Chain A
Amino acid sequence: MKVRVLVRPKEGILDPQGEAVKSALPALGFEGVNAVHVGRLVELDVESADEVDAMCRRLLANPTIEEYEWEVVG
């Protein structure tokens, strides 16, 4: 089964990548961008989704600075 894991900086954690993208967009003429956050997408193909949460906690995300969510996509 295919699982999609989304990892992103926790609310309130400095996201310099997001800030850099946010300031780059107006330079290309895109206006009205209020906030940008850059995260990471991890696609897994697993036998079962039982351990996906543990995978997220132990490796895919660093709970000190990141939050994650995941869903089975097929």
Chain B
Amino acid sequence: MGGGRVRIGVTVFPGSNCDRDALHAVERLGAVPVELWHADPDLKGVDAVIVPGGFSYGDYLRPGAIARFAKVMAPLEDFAFSGGPVLGVCNGFQVLTEAHLLPGALLRNISMRFVCDRVRVRVEATDTPWTAGCEAGEELALPVAHNEGNYFADPATLAELEDEGRVVLRYLENPNGSANDIAGVCNEGRNVVGIMPHPERVSDPALGSDEGLKILGSVLLGAGV
């Protein structure tokens, strides 16, 4: 980081709609928010990347399926493979599974309804750059807003995730039918995390809570940055 302030990039695809919230949250953390346009050829030297929520490319084909091939994803994949901290939130989580940076997929909610609510989740793993600032077992109240949040992975992958402690967040009350109540997972290297809840929507007391900063601010603690 060269002594400067941490720079956190937020990708912007056509149809992203939580990018401004994420950039605002980054600013509140005292880090430098950097917008990463979908057609950017590089990551502008950021220290961490947030892939925000929304409906990238209108969710055409499958959520995240088209965004996965955006130009900015090539340097993002390199960054992730080299251990750079990446957080996918909601649609960002879907993008990261489509890009195979995270295992599994997000299916339609079992209710067939869009769910927009505040849910309680438990932090199951604190050894990721995005949860290092939380206590193990800590409960957070975070907003969810999604149509495809029903985490699916084959039984072998699920067992692997559980055995390796790669379930990062777990719902206390499952809102969407997710396997094993999974709200978030990380990759094998633990630097890439995908979660369905929206920490950026509770990142300012003006929004009723800033509990989400525990997640987003974790990356400033140095794990992986």
Contact = CB atoms under 8 A, between A and B. Distances in A.
Interface of A: 13-14, 16-17, 19-20, 40, 59-60, 62, 64-65
Contact of B62 (A14, A19, A62): A62
B152 A13 contact: yes
Interface of B: 61-62, 65, 69, 97-98, 104-105, 107-112, 150, 152-154, 177
Given A62-B62, A62-B98, A64-B104, A16 B110 contact: yes
A64 B61 contact: no
Closest 6 CB pairs of A and B: A64-B105, A65-B105, A16-B112, A16-B108, A20-B112, A62-B105
B105 to A, nearest CB: 5
The residue among A14, A40, A64 with the most chain B CB atoms within 10 A of its own CB is A64
Contacts of B154: 64
A65 B98 contact: no
A49 to B, nearest CB: 20
Given A64-B104, A64-B105, A14 B177 contact: yes
The residue among A20, A60, A65 with the most chain B CB atoms within 10 A of its own CB is A65
The residue among B97, B105, B111 with the most chain A CB atoms within 10 A of its own CB is B105
A54 to B, nearest CB: 13
A14 B149 CA distance: 13
B59 to A, nearest CB: 13
Contacts of A14: 107-108, 110, 150, 152, 177
Contacts of A60: 61
Nearest to B152: A65
Contacts of A62: 62, 65, 98, 105
Contacts of A65: 105, 107, 152
A57 B153 CA distance: 17
Contacts of A17: 108, 112
Nearest to A38: B108
Contacts of B61: 40, 59-60
A64 B98 CA distance: 9
Contacts of B153: 64
A13 B62 CA distance: 16
Contacts of A16: 107-112
A40 B60 CA distance: 12
A60 B154 CA distance: 20
A20 B112 CA distance: 8
A57 to B, nearest CB: 12
21 contacts: A13-B107, A13-B152, A14-B108, A14-B110, A14-B177, A16-B107, A16-B108, A16-B109, A16-B110, A16-B111, A17-B112, A20-B112, A59-B61, A59-B65, A59-B69, A62-B62, A62-B105, A64-B105, A64-B153, A65-B105, A65-B107
